């Protein structure tokens, strides 16, 4: 298989990730809203988890763009999985 196939598979991997991340982002955002509205006092550890989730959502939001617009280091993460698919298909 060639470089063109690798890029097509990497792009498909990115689309698949975007769809998964979009669903999970919606659920996590809804959960954060519930937490923010509640009167429950969060422990320091729980507050740290909330902050990590917010950071992750911000990062994911910036990556939900077309594959062609991703920075090269992010494209390479998708290529890793594309190469795994290519290895399976070549066996």
Domain assignment of residue 68, given as a range: 3-90
Helices marked H in the chain — which ranges?
3-37, 44-63, 72-90
14 in Cβ contact with 67 (< 8 Å): yes
- 1-54 pLDDT per residue, tens: 689 999 999 999 999 999 999 999 999 999 999 999 998 899 999 999 999 999
Structural domains of the chain, count? 1
- Predicted TM-score (pTM) of the model is 0.86
């Amino acid at each position: 298989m060639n470089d063109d196939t690798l890029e097509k598979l990497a792009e498909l991997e990115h689309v698949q990730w975007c769809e998964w991340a979009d669903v999970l982002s919606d659920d996590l955002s809804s959960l954060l809203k519930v937490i923010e509205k509640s009167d429950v006092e969060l422990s320091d550890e729980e507050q740290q988890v909330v902050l990590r989730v917010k950071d992750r959502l911000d990062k994911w939001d910036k990556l939900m763009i077309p594959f062609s617009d991703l920075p090269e280091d992010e494209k390479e993460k998708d290529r890793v999985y594309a190469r795994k698919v290519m290895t399976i298909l070549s066996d």
